[in-house]
Structure 1
Amino acid sequence: MPNQENTARLLPDVAVHAQPHLAGALDWVGMAEIQVPVLFDAGDGQPQRSSARVGAFVNLKRPDKRGIHMSRLYLQVEQALGTQTLSADMLRSLLRGFLDSHQDLSDRACLSIHFEHLVRRPALKSANSGWRAYPVCIEASLVGDQFLLEFGTEVVYSSTCPASAALSRQLIQDQFIHDFAPGETLDHAAVLAWLGSEKGIVAAAHAQRSVARLRVRPAAGAGFHLVELIDRVESALGTPVQTAVKREDEQAFALANGSNLMFCEDAARRIQKALDADDRLGDFHIRVEHQESLHPHDAVAYASKGVEGGYGSIG
């Protein structure tokens, strides 16, 4: 029986054989959708282990080389992400490992990590609470000594249209004039009963589920303060979707919607102002999407911090 060393020598490696007729440098080569656990600290002191999908890539700068060493990338991803808490230093070290293992082939490396992070959210009024799963995307790249790190998430909320609210109020006024003639002595109990009836509230403003997609570049040493970021955005909007809901919570949510009428432009500016006040963010990009209940299309707005050389394109 051949020993392990002899067996390894007998295994063919066709990747080492160049194909001159197909020579050319490649921007990125690697693997997508690698399945691996990650340990993530969202800044609340409660690290969670989650199931993640990872993309790991390097460029192939040598046109005469047929391929990269994908198994080296995979093993480094599995070892680092499976055993260490996600951090800027860990990701930089992992990307440096990608390049060190491809010294003759690559001078750029990048990594993307997608998973969901659970956060327990209290009800608006009752003593109940429930879990919300927030998607997290972390992207990191290393070009020479230039390390770039970004992370993103989504906040889902309700948006009630200000124009629809104004038109609804006008219809309610019209109904009031119809039911209570000018000059008629108004009876307090009758008006109160009218306001609590379907006849009184003849129109309601349209609202829709909406999504704020956030992508941020943390300042040096800032770390991943995901929970505080979510809290800041949800507080600015005033109408985040709820988990456990009793009647008192639903009523409080209706009040929040009526107190926070907003177009997509309003929502984007609210978030922009809230994130501008966070000096832990070097830059940020916001995409607000109101999934219209009136139209078959969405209303969308973009905003960013406006750092020179930072975000600015639609995407």
Structure 2
Amino acid sequence: MKDVQNTSDQRGIAIQKVGVNDVHLPLMIKTKYGSYQSVLAKIRLTVDLPQEYKGTHMSRFIEVLSEWRQKPISNKEMEQILIDILHRLQAQKAHIDIQFKYFIEKTAPVSGLPSMLDYDCIFSGDMVTGGRLNFVMGVSVPFTSLCPCSKEISCYGAHNQRGVMRVQVRHRPGSYLWIEDLVTLMEEQGSCPVYPLLKREDEKYVTEKAYENPKFVEDVLRDLVLVLRRTQGISWFKIECENFESIHNHSAYAYHMEQLD
């Protein structure tokens, strides 16, 4: 049968990324403790397309990804996926994004009751033929923040809100920061962590802890910058912090990106 994708195109436009998006597959993510967590991943896999080709072979993307269903995935496996897709499509550049929910057990601060909290995570990687994987790990962590200004000017009480920290990190060669460790570093920078299960004694604790530790969104971001600068194995990071304000119809937002030497 005629292969239309391999026919020539005369418009002279190269495409930087072409491939498949919103591919849902079960994958296995290795935990810090040596086990594996089964996740439902949403995947985007792309390659570059030279200007002389009409199209790419979409089925080959699914073929490559299907071979990894229910297999452990980390930066090394992502490198192999990109090597495979570069070879099969004879491309020069490839990129992959793997988004998934990752669950970590949380223990309530006073009652000690365990429960599971979900975190939005992403593994991203790009690669050129003959090159090395450029791997980035991203984690979003919810937190509680209490407004320092509200506490200062009020006779009693202070407004607080839930926020989210979004951090992406790039590792130095030979280094790796576990999702669990990055989550711990991030949660320590808010006024108080978020817990999925709280009894009355726990609710009293987190309310008072946040009140004793007021932070603007700028404070949260700056404290995150300082702790990531001190974390071994990180060569680059990007931070977004957002407070979903309880007394405004808008969010407070802060952003920072840094290359470490």
TM-score of the superposition, structure 2-length normalised?
A: 0.93
**Aligned-pair Cα RMSD in Å:** 1.7
Q: CA–CA distance in 2 between the matches of 1:83 and 1:41?
A: 12
Task: Report if aligned partners of 1:38, 1:85 keep a CA contact under 8 Å in 2.
Answer: yes
Q: State how 1:84-99 maps to structure 2 within 5 Å.
A: 84-99=71-86
Sort the Cα spacing of 1:99 and 1:87 in 2 relative to 1 into closer, same or farther, 3 A.
same
- Aligned match of 2:151: 165
Deviations along 1:260-302, one digit per CA (max 9) or x if unpaired, are 1001111111111222221122211111111112222211112
Q: CA–CA distance in 1 between the matches of 2:190 and 2:42?
A: 30
Q: CA–CA distance in 1 between the matches of 2:232 and 2:139?
A: 18
Between Structure 1 and Structure 2, how many residues are aligned?
A: 260
The SS at the match of 1:227 is helix
Correspondence 1:109 to 2:94: yes
Q: CA–CA distance in 1 between the matches of 2:7 and 2:185?
A: 55
Sort the Cα spacing of 1:306 and 1:223 in 2 relative to 1 into closer, same or farther, 3 A.
closer
Counterpart amino acid of residue 236 in structure 1: Q
Deviation at 1:238, TM superposition (A): 4.6
TM-score of the superposition, structure 1-length normalised?
A: 0.78
Q: State how 1:1-315 maps to structure 2 within 5 Å.
A: 11-20=1-10, 22-61=11-50, 63-79=51-67, 81-103=68-90, 106-144=91-129, 145-168=131-154, 171=155, 203-307=156-260
Task: Report if aligned partners of 1:87, 1:223 keep a CA contact under 8 Å in 2.
Answer: no
Deviation at 1:305, TM superposition (A): 3.5
Deviations along 1:128-187, one digit per CA (max 9) or x if unpaired, are 11110101111100023142100111111111100100111xx3xxxxxxxxxxxxxxxx
Deviations along 1:56-91, one digit per CA (max 9) or x if unpaired, are 100001x22211122112111111x31531122211
Deviation at 1:102, TM superposition (A): 1.9
Unaligned runs of 5+ in 2: none
Indicate the structure (1 or 2) with the bigger Cα radius of gyration: 1
- Higher strand proportion (structure 1 or 2): 2
The SS at the match of 1:82 is coil
Q: CA–CA distance in 1 between the matches of 2:31 and 2:238?
A: 19
